[in-house]
A = this chain, B = another copy of it.
């Protein structure tokens, strides 16, 4: 199968025209993020992703990972060398603080960069993803001393990071965590077992920095008694050199549906008396510290949905262009399957969903930059609320899309799609984790309805709805071929307004309603937000085509894809709305014993 080719024109378009990179580059500290610099970075990363990391993807899936010798995990052939090239290019440091060796570029730019790792090789890409999360948690919460000692090698990529939350008895609900931490002067001793630790052990770097949630002896019960600790695989001397091996190790690796090359570890802490750890942030505030990294991680998992969709689309498109089969309608002789309308339906669905979810993801990430860097406090607050509102939508909707598109990719291949050598199957299997980890999509949906909508009485939502209406109005006021499409998008926004009103009103009397409608509400919101983005993209494409500026083929394709989205994807909102309007009754009516 062909290797990944980064869709550079599309990425530059979404960054510049939808996510507003130029405006971002005018924020203090982001001056280097000129369009030229952005394009150069994307081009370089595209090469590394396409030429080096993508070719390792299928082999990594086949080889998997295994524990060797004394709790060592060997990564598949080539992974370590590819990781070294990533470190040499300083690609993991783009968005981080220059005080600790970062490049101080916008998070949004790093998001486009990260999309390419995950398109090329999701298993491999998870390693830097986890490091990034750990860097964020330490940057926001750790003491100056910990930061000085740990951040530079992590930002450099010389050390990697992990998140240790889950225990066998404690999944989404962390109130029942049992891992213990005991104070020993300047450090703590950590004991307990953690599961689902992504890249918890590996041979790509000399050290691994585990962030571990644990309880202090006198901690209150429940989630308010959890603290966050930094537990390095090797202790670190004052001069930054590595000291003794810490009392933590991988016990076993999970056998998974996909991402076979990403070691999912059961980790044991303190088998020999206690792993040395250091408190991050305040005692008993561990969940808050962890959430500060989880918000970004949720966006990046949504991005993984976009990334796997892009990869699946490329493979299916190439196959559809090369596979002869039958005489298509309107043709006189046998041709390639891309000529068949139903194959086009699948490919266009894949394209449209991928582009819409990419746009929404990048735009949401831009709010993450604004919330940090905008000079105006009010703007920062608005972007903070916007990012908080859209994060569960990006995570939930984009990962459902990743799964759907990867499955369509199998289908386009027909019988060959079910054969592993084709490659479509790996994307299908890999994508299946996305709706699950970093908070299942059910958890995202509940976050969206409860914490992000009911909690502020829909205020952040109302601002978003106003902005969406403004986009529609702008198109309607122009002499544009997009007016009928804008009307359809306007109607769908109206339906979302109705669903939000129903949520706010009916939740008062029906305790089950928010949970019962939450998933459909999230999918409704994603579908309508995707249409909003595609309409804006189409408007820009139409303008550029009229001006005769830029890549006419790209803008033509964008316009067609936007029309397809509005004709053939947006109608899904009708079903979601009707399901929401039907309420919680039939969902909750069956007695547990009768299931």
Query: Which residues of A are at the interface with B, using a C-beta cutoff of 8 A?
Result: 166, 169, 171-173, 175-176, 195-196, 254-258, 317, 320-321, 324-326, 328-330, 334, 338-348, 351, 403, 407, 410-411, 414-415, 417-421, 425, 428-429, 432-433, 435-437, 440-442, 445-446, 511-512, 514-516, 518-519, 553, 556-557, 560-561, 563-564, 567-568, 571-579, 582-595
* Residues in chain B near residue A317, CB distance under 8 A: 595
Q: How far is the CB of A277 from chain B (nearest CB, A)?
A: 24
* Residues in chain B near residue A411, CB distance under 8 A: 435-436, 440-442
Q: How far is the CB of A378 from chain B (nearest CB, A)?
A: 35
Q: How far is the CB of A193 from chain B (nearest CB, A)?
A: 15
* Residues in chain B near residue A591, CB distance under 8 A: 556
* Residues in chain B near residue A257, CB distance under 8 A: 410, 418-420, 425, 428-429
Contact of A344 among B169, B516, B567 (CB under 8 A): B516
Q: Please judge, given known A-B contacts A556-B594, A589-B563, whether A341 and B429 are in contact too, CB under 8 Å.
A: no
* Residues in chain B near residue A584, CB distance under 8 A: 341
Contact of A586 among B173, B515, B567, B594 (CB under 8 A): B567
Q: How far is the CB of A401 from chain B (nearest CB, A)?
A: 14
Taken together, the copies of this chain in the complex come to 2
Q: Contact at B592–A568, with CB atoms within 8 Å? A: no
Q: Contact at B579–A561, with CB atoms within 8 Å? A: no
Beyond A328-B515, A564-B587, A568-B582, 7 extra complex contacts between A and B, CB < 8 Å: A257-B429, A340-B515, A341-B512, A342-B442, A348-B587, A407-B432, A571-B578
* Residues in chain B near residue A445, CB distance under 8 A: 342
Q: How far is the CB of A209 from chain B (nearest CB, A)?
A: 23
Closest 7 CB pairs of A and B: A341-B515, A571-B578, A574-B574, A567-B582, A173-B326, A564-B586, A341-B516
Residue of B nearest to A255 (CB): B420
Q: Contact at A512–B171, with CB atoms within 8 Å? A: no
* Residues in chain B near residue A557, CB distance under 8 A: 590, 594-595
Q: Contact at A415–B437, with CB atoms within 8 Å? A: yes
* Residues in chain B near residue A403, CB distance under 8 A: 407
* Residues in chain B near residue A564, CB distance under 8 A: 586-587, 589-590
* Residues in chain B near residue A568, CB distance under 8 A: 579, 582, 586-587
Q: Contact at A571–B574, with CB atoms within 8 Å? A: yes
Q: How far is the CB of A316 from chain B (nearest CB, A)?
A: 10
Q: Contact at A329–B514, with CB atoms within 8 Å? A: yes
Residue of B nearest to A559 (CB): B589
Q: Contact at B256–A414, with CB atoms within 8 Å? A: no
* Residues in chain B near residue A441, CB distance under 8 A: 411
